[in-house]
Amino acid sequence: MLKSVDLIISPRWILPITPRDTVLEHHAVVVHQGKIIDVCAQSLLAERYVANEEVVLREHVLMPGLVNLHTHAAMSLMRGLADDLLLMPWLEKHIWPAEQQCVSSQFVYDGTLLACAEMLSGGVTTFNDMYFFPESCIQASSHIGMRAHVGLVVLEFATNYALDANSYIEKGTATRDAYKAEPLVTFSFAPHAPYTIKDETLSKINVLAEQLDLGIHTHMQETMHEVSQSQSTYGLSPLKRFANLGLLNSRSVLAHCVHLSEADMQLLADYGCHIAHCPTSNLKLASGIAPITQFAALDVNIGIGTDGAGSNNRLDMFAEMRLAALLAKGKSGDATAISAHRALEMATINGAKALGLDQVVGSIEVGKFADLTAIKMTDLSLQPCFDVASHLVYVAGRENVSHTWVAGQLKYHKPDANTGVFSNVEPHDLLQIAQSWQRKLAAFSNNI
Amino acid sequence: MLKSVDLIISPRWILPITPRDTVLEHHAVVVHQGKIIDVCAQSLLAERYVANEEVVLREHVLMPGLVNLHTHAAMSLMRGLADDLLLMPWLEKHIWPAEQQCVSSQFVYDGTLLACAEMLSGGVTTFNDMYFFPESCIQASSHIGMRAHVGLVVLEFATNYALDANSYIEKGTATRDAYKAEPLVTFSFAPHAPYTIKDETLSKINVLAEQLDLGIHTHMQETMHEVSQSQSTYGLSPLKRFANLGLLNSRSVLAHCVHLSEADMQLLADYGCHIAHCPTSNLKLASGIAPITQFAALDVNIGIGTDGAGSNNRLDMFAEMRLAALLAKGKSGDATAISAHRALEMATINGAKALGLDQVVGSIEVGKFADLTAIKMTDLSLQPCFDVASHLVYVAGRENVSHTWVAGQLKYHKPDANTGVFSNVEPHDLLQIAQSWQRKLAAFSNNI
């Protein structure tokens, strides 16, 4: 007897992420009540299921929705407000005064909504946020329908949001209590950075995080200056100080981690911490390049984040995946470092794992939520295509995303191809030509 | 009396590149017989001109067409054929055998056509190429209507194209003679690289280049290995060897230049050579990061190239501009290194200057050809916009290109916006919200 299901998606290729290094062709994802209940050959569908809705994507790759592991979503409204500046003038003369002037509950709602629209249209289904007025972030992300891991931000100084560390903590815990039943929302504590938080406050956060069963999201060792300052103030690296205060564990998500000693790296590995690698932001603010091939060699879990639009200025996980893979090669001198498949894992399952969500999202597996992204592979600039995984990282861009689902609900789609018009060339003809050469080259390449 | 002209383009903003650091608002570009004959306020148009065609672009930036300073266009057909490999296995096991099997006059025509379609749709109007069968490259680029600076490639070894150095040189000069009247085509000699060409051949090329009034296009000091090999074979760096043989001058375009001593850098400056900086390719093949802030400090002219699709794998000058600016900051530790305006110059006028074309293209100035690119700035991911130049480098992508003209002829356009559809948000409303916050933030930021 046929089973009645909500949705069947039949793409040309599926990149499930788990199992590793796998590309399925002519398979389908079967979705019921928001979850993936089967991944099977398309030829088996007729004998197994009857679907309320079928989406046939003959020219597309289907992959898990991307997980953006470090954002300040509402800062999208400050995109490009001040660029090409040193870190301190950028913060002191532009970002902080603008925040003081403008940041409000409404600002955070509007900015998060804009960021979510940008991220959904670029295939991102989950983001790990840290900003003021987290309740407004939740309202916006819930409205547009994205999965949000919301950091309850803590600082020592007064802002439009709160007056002192205790008031940040109180407001944060109240927000968590008010919204803990939201289906797409989870929480962490987000002490802003080692250099903005006192030991006493960090200890308090540590106790509360354990009581409330929350992880930690913070900025860590982004600049050399921050590390040397910590050494002279505390006689410890920021990481060692966090370790001593009990804040490093398998639920700690550390953004940046650009400047680390060997001992610092070993701490990451020993405590099972997670890295939110933000390659564009680290270059743009001249912080440097995080040594992710060394982290990977120690089996440290590495996800990828865009950071906020103030320091990136695109919330574009395709660009970050590509840059992460490219920089790893350029920095290590090894062109095999961080392959396309590893970069895709970083942007999906690794990010989910960092947030404690790897049992529910981050790969296309039975039992997980149907957080899915489809990428249309027919644009001329994607021709020819010998290897789908390599194309997703080195060739495709977020502009090729055609559909984004969260928990089985279609949250974004682009209705037509919009290939563009040339005066002297017919794109369809050129597509045919490219595909015919691809067949010749592929046949030969397989024979080597 | 009104002057009758072919075309008037009236965009919201014009980024003329020359004069430096300038953004014109509500100005128009007036085009007649392929050339720019006026750049004036839109309010003056009615009293000066009557146009055959008017293009009003209320939400767009108009800038000079991008100049891709280092390509192997036909390799677009090998896009992603083999990735995540060390340089020598990549060349020896994949690229060279595939070339031996497949490269032909037709392959080069088809591959160049595909590359040109990709480049035109990404706002590129001129490319500086080096590949086999240059006559096929010319036929394809002329068909689609791009400006091509065609390298007459020279190697010592036999390929499907030619047997030995002399036969490459003969075929190249014959191609140049046959096509020298093509309106959009110019030439250079392209000895492939110091490590693939003998002194004797280089001397011969030097003499011919002077006789035929051609520049030189070559790969230079891309890898450390190449430099040390030259030191042990010749007792000279490749640059010094080229200098001794007379091949360095103000018409030498040197691709890559990743590994240079202080003395090498001084040679570049002393001889007035031009760099084709290829940041993605250098990372992907693990060659490293070219020290362009040091080149810039010596006033060496730096353009930008994508390299071929085999080692990039996008022929995307927007991505290269952004990466060039980001890497310069990350490598130098100075967030003010290579500003958005400098990166835009690298991708336009600097490239034109390297090719000896800076009197005819590379900026929006009266008397130059109307090689122009329009970028639509209304996509949600481009909101808000405080600074047009910074947005073109750090935010916009080639997907935002709406029109590309070469010598006043429209060669590419994208007929509609295709913003994409969200289930829970109306893009137009979100645009309004973003723009209202932009006004508040900008008003404040100007008051600092």
Tell me whether the CATH fold assigned to B3-64+362-413 matches the one assigned to B66-354. Answer: no
**What residues of chain B lie within 8 A of the CB of A286, using their CB?**
329-330, 332-335, 337
Measured between CB atoms, which of B93, B335, B337 is closest to A448? B93
Using a pLDDT cut of 90, give the percent of chain A over it.
83
Measured between CB atoms, which of B121, B315, B441 is closest to A81? B441
Say if residues B124 and B67 touch (Cβ distance below 8 Å).
Answer: yes
Residue A417 has pLDDT above 80, yes or no: no
CB under 8 Å, gap of 24 or more: what pairs does B161-166 form? B161/B103, B161/B132, B161/B133, B162/B132, B165/B197, B165/B198, B165/B201, B165/B204
The reply to whether residue B334 touches residue A86, judged by beta carbons under 8 angstroms, is yes
Residue A200 has pLDDT above 90, yes or no: yes
Distance CA B296, CA B290 (A): 11
The reply to whether residue A381 touches residue B444, judged by beta carbons under 8 angstroms, is no
How far CA B241 is from CA of B19, B166, B221, B247, B416, in Å, comes to 37, 21, 12, 9, 53
The reply to whether residue B421 touches residue A413, judged by beta carbons under 8 angstroms, is yes
Q: In this predicted structure, what is the pLDDT of residue A436? A: 75
Q: In this predicted structure, what is the pLDDT of residue A422? A: 67
- How many Å lie between the alpha carbon of A15 and the closest alpha carbon of chain B? 17
Q: In this predicted structure, what is the pLDDT of residue B418? A: 56
Q: In this predicted structure, what is the pLDDT of residue A206? A: 97
The reply to whether residue B330 touches residue A287, judged by beta carbons under 8 angstroms, is yes
Q: At what angle do helices B134-144 and B105-121 cross, to 10 degrees?
A: 40
Measured between CB atoms, which of A319, A329, A420 is closest to B284? A329
- How many Å lie between the alpha carbon of B209 and the closest alpha carbon of chain A? 33
- How many Å lie between the alpha carbon of A334 and the closest alpha carbon of chain B? 6
Q: If we measure between CA atoms, which residue out of A426, A444, A440, A320 comes closest to residue A380?
A: A426
- How many Å lie between the alpha carbon of A295 and the closest alpha carbon of chain B? 18
Distance CA A76, CA A127 (A): 14
pLDDT in tens, A109-162: 999 999 999 999 999 999 999 999 999 999 999 999 999 999 999 999 999 999
Q: How confident is the model at residue A446 (pLDDT cuts 50, 70, 90)?
A: low
pLDDT in tens, A298-348: 999 999 999 999 899 999 999 999 999 999 999 999 999 999 999 999 999
Written as tens digits, the pLDDT of chain B (448 aa) is 899 999 999 999 999 999 999 999 999 999 999 999 999 999 999 999 999 999 999 999 999 999 999 999 999 999 988 888 887 788 888 888 888 888 999 999 999 999 999 999 999 999 999 999 999 999 999 999 999 999 999 999 999 999 999 999 999 999 999 999 999 999 999 999 999 999 999 999 999 999 999 999 999 999 999 999 999 999 999 999 999 999 999 999 999 999 999 999 999 999 999 999 999 999 999 999 999 999 999 999 999 999 999 899 999 999 999 999 999 999 999 999 999 999 999 999 999 999 999 999 999 999 999 999 999 998 888 999 889 999 999 999 999 999 999 999 999 988 765 556 766 677 777 777 777 777 777 766 654 4
Q: In this predicted structure, what is the pLDDT of residue B448? A: 46
Quote ipTM for the complex. 0.95
Domain spans of chain A, in order of start:
3-64+362-413, 66-354
The stretch A412-418 carries a mean pLDDT of 75
The stretch A355-373 carries a mean pLDDT of 98
The reply to whether residue A121 touches residue B381, judged by beta carbons under 8 angstroms, is yes
> Between A and B, how many CB-CB pairs are < 8 A?
297
Measured between CB atoms, which of A86, A113, A434 is closest to B425? A113
Q: Which residue, among A345, A381, A406, A430, would best test binding to B if mutated, counting the most B CBs under 10 Å from its CB?
A: A381
Q: In this predicted structure, what is the pLDDT of residue A448? A: 46
Question: The domain B3-64+362-413 belongs to what CATH superfamily?
Answer: Urease, subunit C, domain 1 (2.30.40.10)
B434 → chain A, closest CA residue = A77
Q: Which fold has domain A66-354?
A: TIM Barrel (3.20.20)
Measured between CB atoms, which of A383, A410, A440 is closest to B423? A410
Q: If we measure between CA atoms, which residue out of A433, A402, A405 comes closest to residue A418?
A: A402
Q: Work out whether the CA dihedral A242, A247, A249, A255 comes out positive or negative.
A: negative
